[in-house]
């Protein structure tokens, strides 16, 4: 048994928000693989079915994002699962729109839904990080994630969500690289399909507008010629 969780906020008001891409992914999985019917349990909407030959419960917490861990923790304990049996789909500011990475362990990076999951499950669950891009300034983040996707976003969002639903069986089977490669092929993204390292060190508290680390580069002077070495020898004398 595995537990696939989508993060989001309940209600029509939030249904199209960037923050709700996790709900969209779970709905796509349910539709593509005949899960259902949806019912209320664990402070969530749940649906049961199979991905390949594996039993999977789909879960969408109805607690609002900041309390997602209450619902997921309750479901995990009732179903007698471990964090390693849980896979969470969520929005990711630090990835470009449409980019996907699968990760196990690590920090919550300031994501309030993941922060709540950490409190109730610990960090050692699987995540599908679904890129929504960054608005560019930290103070714009809250409004950005709580806004609906723009019409222009549908060009990448619709194929992405459809592919995630169709290829979810690869995740259930433990084939994260195969899942990401299939998504890249289906969406034309051309990404390599390499998962993030397992149990990566906790990320620092997210600076929502952080820039990529830049290592100081040293100029490459290239190999010395015999003449240069000879001149240097006499210069040192």
127 touches 210 (CB < 8 A): no
What is the rounded CA–CA span in Å between residue 233 and residue 68? 69
Of 142, 136, 115, give the one whose Cα is nearest residue 202.
115
CB-based burial of residue 225 (10 Å sphere; 0-12 exposed, 13-18 middle, 19+ buried)? Answer: exposed
**Secondary structure string (H, E, C) spanning 39-100:** EEECCEEEEEEEECCEEEEEEEECCCHHHHHHHHHHHHHHCCCCHHHEEEEEEECCCCCCCE
19 among known catalytic residues: yes
Catalytic pick from 19, 90, 118, 134?
19
| Residue numbers annotated as active site | 19
């Amino acid at each position: 048994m595995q537990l696939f969780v989508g993060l989001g906020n309940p209600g029509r008001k939030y249904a199209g928000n960037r923050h709700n891409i996790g709900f969209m992914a779970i709905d796509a999985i349910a539709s593509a693989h005949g899960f259902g019917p949806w019912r209320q349990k664990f402070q969530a909407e749940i649906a049961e079915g199979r991905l390949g030959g594996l039993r999977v419960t789909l879960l969408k917490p109805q607690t609002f994002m900041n309390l997602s861990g209450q619902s997921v923790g309750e479901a995990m304990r009732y179903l007698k699962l471990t964090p390693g049996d849980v896979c969470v789909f969520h929005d990711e500011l630090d990835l470009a729109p449409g980019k996907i990475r699968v990760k196990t362990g690590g920090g919550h990076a300031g994501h309030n839904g993941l922060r709540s999951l950490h409190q109730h499950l610990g960090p050692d669950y699987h995540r599908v990080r679904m890129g929504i891009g960054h608005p560019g300034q930290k103070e714009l983040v809250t409004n950005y994630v709580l806004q609906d996707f723009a019409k222009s976003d549908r060009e990448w969002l619709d194929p992405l969500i459809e592919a995630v639903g169709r290829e979810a069986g690869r995740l259930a089977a433990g084939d994260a690289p195969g899942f990401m490669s299939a998504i890249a092929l289906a969406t034309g993204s051309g990404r390599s399909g390499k998962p993030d390292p397992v149990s990566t060190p906790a990320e620092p508290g997210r600076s929502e507008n952080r820039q990529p680390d830049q290592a100081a580069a040293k100029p490459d002077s290239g190999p010395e010629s015999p003449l240069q070495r000879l001149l240097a020898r006499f210069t040192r004398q």
